[in-house]
Structure 1
Amino acid sequence: MDKKTHYPAGAWLALIAALSFSMKAIFVKLAYHWPIEAVTLLTLRMAFSLPFFAAVGLCESRRAQPLSSRQWLIVVLLGLLGYYGASIFDFVGLRYISASLERLVLFSYPALTLVFGAVFFAQRIGRREAGAMLLCYAGIAAAFAHDLRLAQDMSAVWIGGGFVFASSVCYAAYLAGGGRLIPILGASRFSAFALLVSTGATLLHFLLTQSLQALHQPWQIYALALAMAMFSTVLPVFALAAAIRRIGPGRASLISTAGPVMTIGLSWAVLGEPISFWQWIGTALVVAGVLLVSRK
């Protein structure tokens, strides 16, 4: 397959990944129509995803050298941050704020990844990166202003926004640390191991805080959790990995900036959430910031 064939396939895979990730908030908001705890919903999502990532981890391990003790320690730490900590904070935050605002706040992770790189790995933050961070946070502020103006309980917007921002911090730390380990382990192997760690942590959290009666949910919850596992976990992880192999991480990340716009459109079409001028301004600023930081 030549480069001309590689690019369209890679671009479509990256777009599919962006759309799939954008659907996660919609699935969560739909599930919250029933009285279900965030950890129970996350447990169902991770349990449905487990067989796929276990199979990938097993296949990749057969073809590679075993991890050292230090590498296992880093994988466990990053798995706890990236797919357990980030997910549980995100699911809790979605109880309080709209899906569209959640996606904008969560999209602050590229700028936060730069901060972690500078603090822990001595990577320089230039003027362009600093400008990108300012654009991202200006966009989040504009979207926050919209939700605060419409909210009956302003504290709920702050609480939900705080949880989702904590999710973004966890995911940025996962990306910053994973960037050092992925070249050694490989993207698929690292992602599979990190997701297996997060699944174990999620199941332990559930067993410590919930009874097994919490799993007695209506079939709609199981259907939404299965859809979230297939279309917002397994599919985008592998689609994004395939896209990066074809067109590189830079182009793949540029295409992923369609994510917030997709989430706003889906939240309007599926959830009936209003779309305002300030939301579009916030989205444009956040997307501009990510585009700026993604350019070579």
Structure 2
Amino acid sequence: MKLSRRFIYGILIGILGVVLFSSKAVMVKMAYQYQIDALSMLLLRMLFAFPFYVFVILLYRKKQFAVQVGYKDYVWVFVFGFVGYYLASYFDFVGLTYIKASLERIILFLYPTIVLLLNKVFLKQRITKVQTGAMALTYLGIVIAFWDEVAMSGSNTYLGGIYILLSAITYASYLVGSGWLLPKFGVMKFTAYAMLVSCLCVFVHYSLVVEAPLFGYPWQVYLLGGLIAVFATVIPSFLVSASIKMITSSNFAIVAGIGPISTIVLAAIFLNEHLTMLQLFGALAVIVGICFVSLKTKR
């Protein structure tokens, strides 16, 4: 069967978006080499990303949707922005101070299985036998990769893994809970509002906790902060949305499987991180399991 040019372009755009998203963990770890703390690094990311999302809101401010938006809807936008972008990002950045970038991406890749479990508990959606088997394979892969890392790096790996798992849980909660708001705001406007909430939460958190000045780090830190904001946050969010529109979310689920692989490769190149054969086997089990879970999930 001959693939259309639009489908091929959609796959290529999706791959680029996934790879750019995957580079975030690597660049964060590179910045940590300059002795910057997680909250300050997260603040830099939000500072650089903030103007882009303000621009999106201004661009879409006059666009109206069929469903009326009320005061309570904006309250829920704040709640989901707090949970899905602020908490998820904060847990992720803290977790990266303890574990490898490649292991972080493998754990974060669990979020589709968490979405399934949350839908089962709160929305009473059925989990199929195929999905159950795929989830079992996925968590087995995590146990294999994680257990081997603990043996090599020590107990701090547990702490890092817990933070990254919390990041995956909060992001999955955002995905499950915020879906009903999308028709009211539209994807672009809702995402921009949620990201601005996240930015404001980070600004307040930093002002209350960190006393050290933000402008005393080497120039490489600010360069990495800008790269994370633009090339690992803003641009891939648009690329992924365009790819899903062109090839459907089911096909994109397969493309997304390249995420952990690209992180492993980038971490090996720029951080000299290397996974053992056992960890690579665990990562493969996670990728295969998530692909089956995603393909069998109704969107």
Distance 1:144 1:110 in 2: 19
What residue identity is the alignment partner of 1:163?
A: Y
Give the structure 2 partner of residue 239 of structure 1: 239
State the shift of 1:216 in Å. 2.3
Output the aligned Cα RMSD: 1.5
Does the 8 Å contact 1:40/1:215 carry over to 2?
no
Give the structure 2 partner of residue 277 of structure 1: 277
What residue identity is the alignment partner of 2:14?
A: A
State the shift of 1:183 in Å. 3.4
Q: 2:260 aligned with 1:260, yes or no?
A: yes
Distance 1:205 1:44 in 2: 13
Distance 1:249 1:57 in 2: 25
Gapped regions of structure 2 (runs ≥ 5): none
| Helix, strand or coil at the partner of 1:286 | helix
What residue identity is the alignment partner of 2:106?
A: L
| Helix, strand or coil at the partner of 1:215 | coil
Give the structure 2 partner of residue 164 of structure 1: 164
State the shift of 1:116 in Å. 1.4
Give the structure 1 partner of residue 126 of structure 2: 124
Does the 8 Å contact 2:57/2:193 carry over to 1?
yes
Give the structure 2 partner of residue 192 of structure 1: 192
Q: 2:219 aligned with 1:205, yes or no?
A: no
Gapped regions of structure 1 (runs ≥ 5): none
State the TM-score, normalizing by the size of structure 2. 0.94
Give the structure 1 partner of residue 23 of structure 2: 23
State the shift of 1:181 in Å. 2.2
Give the structure 2 partner of residue 133 of structure 1: 135
**Pairs aligned (count):** 292
Question: Which of 104, 112, 118 lines up with 2:106 in the alignment?
Answer: 104
Q: Which has the higher helix share?
A: 1
Q: Provide the identity percentage.
A: 37
Does the 8 Å contact 1:94/1:102 carry over to 2?
yes
State the shift of 1:70 in Å. 2.0
Moved over 6 A (4+): none
Does the 8 Å contact 2:110/2:138 carry over to 1?
yes
State the shift of 1:19 in Å. 0.1
Stretch deviating more after TM superposition (17-26 or 117-126): 117-126
Give the structure 2 partner of residue 59 of structure 1: 59
**1:6-33 Cα distance to aligned partner (Å, 9 max, x none):** 2112111111111011101101100111
State the shift of 1:80 in Å. 0.8
Give the structure 2 partner of residue 145 of structure 1: 147
**1:237-293 Cα distance to aligned partner (Å, 9 max, x none):** 111111111112121222011100111111111111122111211111111111101
Does the 8 Å contact 1:48/1:229 carry over to 2?
yes
| Helix, strand or coil at the partner of 2:217 | coil
Does the 8 Å contact 2:39/2:206 carry over to 1?
yes
Give the structure 1 partner of residue 32 of structure 2: 32
Distance 2:24 2:278 in 1: 23
State the shift of 1:212 in Å. 5.8
Does the 8 Å contact 2:253/2:295 carry over to 1?
no
**1:195-233 Cα distance to aligned partner (Å, 9 max, x none):** 111111111111111136133221110000001011110
Give the structure 2 partner of residue 42 of structure 1: 42
What residue identity is the alignment partner of 2:243?
A: A
Does the 8 Å contact 1:18/1:236 carry over to 2?
yes
